[in-house]
Amino acid sequence: MEETEIHFLNTPETVEELQLDFVPRTFNEYLGQKTLKDKLAVYTTAAKMRNEPLDHLLLFGPPGLGKTTLSQIMAHVMNVGIKICSGPMLERTGDLVAILSGLQPRDILFIDEIHRTPANVEEVLYAAMEQFRVDVIIGQGAGAQTVNLPINPFTLIGATTKSGKLSGPLRSRFGITERLDFYENDELAQIVLQSAKYLNLKLDQKSALTIGSCARGTPRIAKKILRRVRDFAQVNNQNIADFELVKKSLEFLGIDNDGLNTVDNLILSKIITNFNGGPVGLETLASLIGEDAETIETVYEPFLLRKGLLEKTPRGRQIACKALPHLKSKYLGQKTLLI
């Protein structure tokens, strides 16, 4: 099998993960997302048997769940090249035309955050996806001419965290649309064990499950926590991350027994102590904790909502009824008896 051509996004976070994390190369090595993985295995195998490009594919879901990794695996399985870029990077139509012109037959073009692609660049994709050609304008003014430039048949894989912001014309051109869901704790534990082996860190199942339960359903976060646990283990002259060391590491990172980080606890404690459980407006809450409202809504709220700790109401945010006794005890202690 020929070596897969991969062009990675030039971001510090991506570089760090490529250097330090285990990157699956096959569907068997990729843990979790079983239903989606089985579907993609069928699609890619069938396309390879027909010697045709895979249908254009849209992957959507929260960040850090493995959309880029799955695309790399599909390229590896189909024995084709893959070029990776992001929507905001494609500022001019010429940028996209240059990339499309360089694709070999059946290659994959992966565009991350495709919903942020400029409108004029997106229009170039329409003909490229349907007719495998791009329209290039030569000259200016009255003498300008449009030239149809054929390109090799390819597969566009678009990834987005906000599928609702994708334009209708672009969405309709994807033959396959699939969603990635958050991972269960036991799935994250297996990913942690897989990565720990790659990092030469000894870790037991209980410790891996503890890390997985703090990863907010996201493999990327699980791997980041594992790297910090490894740091803590090395500084303490240990090559084994046992349960006690993992607990101390999480405490050092500001992650408590409920899997909540410092900001999570700050949000919940302010609603409890200042508003007796809520409701409270988002802007008011943002002012109290010194964080902007959009960050609270997009980064912290989804996890708190999924854990059943927070609720969104027409009047604002409030603590979920089932979680109220536990959180009052946690943040108020003996004061709970007075409320």
Q: Which residue in 248, 212, 214, 213 sits closest to 229, CA to CA?
A: 248
Which of these three, 179, 211, 231, is where a domain ends?
179
Active site residue 161: yes
CA distance 191 to 32: 8
Contacts for 75-78: CB closer than 8 Å, 24+ residues apart: 75/4, 75/6, 75/107, 75/108, 76/1, 76/4, 76/25, 76/26, 77/26, 77/27, 77/41, 77/44, 77/45, 77/48, 78/44, 78/47, 78/48, 78/54, 78/106, 78/108
Annotated active-site residue in 4, 44, 68, 218: 68
Annotated active-site residue in 21, 107, 112, 264: 112
Is the residue at 1 inside a domain?
Answer: no
Task: Compute the average pLDDT of residues 234-262.
Answer: 85
Residues 76 and 36 in one domain: yes
Domain CATH number, residue 227: 1.10.8.60
Q: Which residue in 254, 256, 234 sits closest to 245, CA to CA?
A: 234
Annotated active-site residue in 216, 220, 224, 317: 220
**Cα atoms in the 13 Å half-sphere on the side-chain side of 92:** 5
Task: Compute the average pLDDT of residues 211-236.
Answer: 90
Task: pLDDT band for 6, please (50, 70, 90 cuts).
Answer: very low
User: Which domain, by its residues, includes 279?
Assistant: 262-338
Residues 189 and 172 in one domain: no
Query: Which two three-digit tokens encode residue 26?
Result: 């096959």
CA distance 176 to 59: 9
Task: pLDDT band for 91, please (50, 70, 90 cuts).
Answer: confident
Is the residue at 219 inside a domain?
Answer: yes
Residues 31 and 142 in one domain: yes
Annotated active-site residue in 4, 67, 83, 218: 67
Task: Compute the average pLDDT of residues 150-158.
Answer: 93
**Tell me, what's the pLDDT at 175?**
92
Does residue 210 have a pLDDT over 50?
A: yes
Annotated active-site residue in 25, 95, 116, 161: 161
Active site residue 69: no
pLDDT above 70 as % of the chain: 89
Task: pLDDT band for 71, please (50, 70, 90 cuts).
Answer: very high
Task: pLDDT band for 278, please (50, 70, 90 cuts).
Answer: confident
Is the residue at 97 inside a domain?
Answer: yes
Task: pLDDT band for 143, please (50, 70, 90 cuts).
Answer: low
Task: Compute the average pLDDT of residues 261-290.
Answer: 90
Active site residue 112: yes
For residues 93 and 138, is the Cβ–Cβ distance under 8 A?
no
Residues 129 and 153 in one domain: yes
Residues 100 and 152 in one domain: yes
Task: Compute the average pLDDT of residues 291-319.
Answer: 89
Which of these three, 126, 153, 179, is where a domain ends?
179
**Which DSSP string do the residues of 128-171 spell out, in sequence order?**
HHHHSEEEEEESSGGG-EEEEEE----EEEEEES-GGGS-HHHH
Residues 166 and 25 in one domain: yes
Task: Compute the average pLDDT of residues 72-83.
Answer: 93
Active site residue 67: yes
Q: What is the pTM of this model?
A: 0.82
Task: Compute the average pLDDT of residues 107-135.
Answer: 90
* Model confidence pLDDT, tens digit, residues 11-57: 434 434 445 678 888 999 999 999 999 999 999 999 999 999 999 99
**Enclosing H/E stretch for 331:** helix 324-332
Lowest mean pLDDT among 60-74, 138-152, 185-199, 299-313: 138-152
Q: How many domains does one find in the chain?
A: 3
**Tell me, what's the pLDDT at 160?**
93
